[in-house]
């Protein structure tokens, strides 16, 4: 699988990762929509970030899987 470059915040920054609907997921993990209207969803790295409730949103990484 092709590695996706992190264009949002990276893991080295102080804040969490955030990406928009339609962007490629930068990291495996549990992601939650910005409005908090839905439960966190596991999304695989490289997948397109989905809409939440049929509308575009910003997704925030809640937790990466344990290695």
Q: Specify the higher pLDDT residue, 5 or 24.
A: 24
pLDDT digits (tens, 9 = 90+) for 10-51: 444 546 699 999 999 999 999 999 988 889 999 999 999 999
Rounded to 5 degrees, φ, ψ at 48 are -75, 135
Query: Which pLDDT score is estimated for 8?
Result: 47
Query: pLDDT confidence of 65, banded at 50, 70, 90?
Result: confident
Joined together, the tokens standing for residue 52 give 């939440």
> What is the rounded distance in angstroms from the CA atom of residue 14 to the CA atom of residue 2?
26
Domain-wise residue ranges, the chain:
18-63
3-state secondary structure of 52: strand
Task: Please give the pLDDT value at position 63.
Answer: 85
Q: At a CB cut-off of 8 Å and minimum separation 6, what does 67 contact?
A: none
């Amino acid at each position: 699988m092709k590695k996706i470059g992190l264009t949002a915040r990276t893991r080295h920054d102080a804040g969490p990762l955030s990406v928009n609907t339609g962007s490629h997921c930068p990291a495996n993990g549990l992601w939650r929509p910005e409005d908090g209207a839905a439960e966190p969803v596991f999304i695989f790295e490289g997948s397109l970030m989905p809409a939440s409730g049929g509308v575009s949103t910003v997704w925030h990484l809640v937790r990466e899987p344990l290695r």
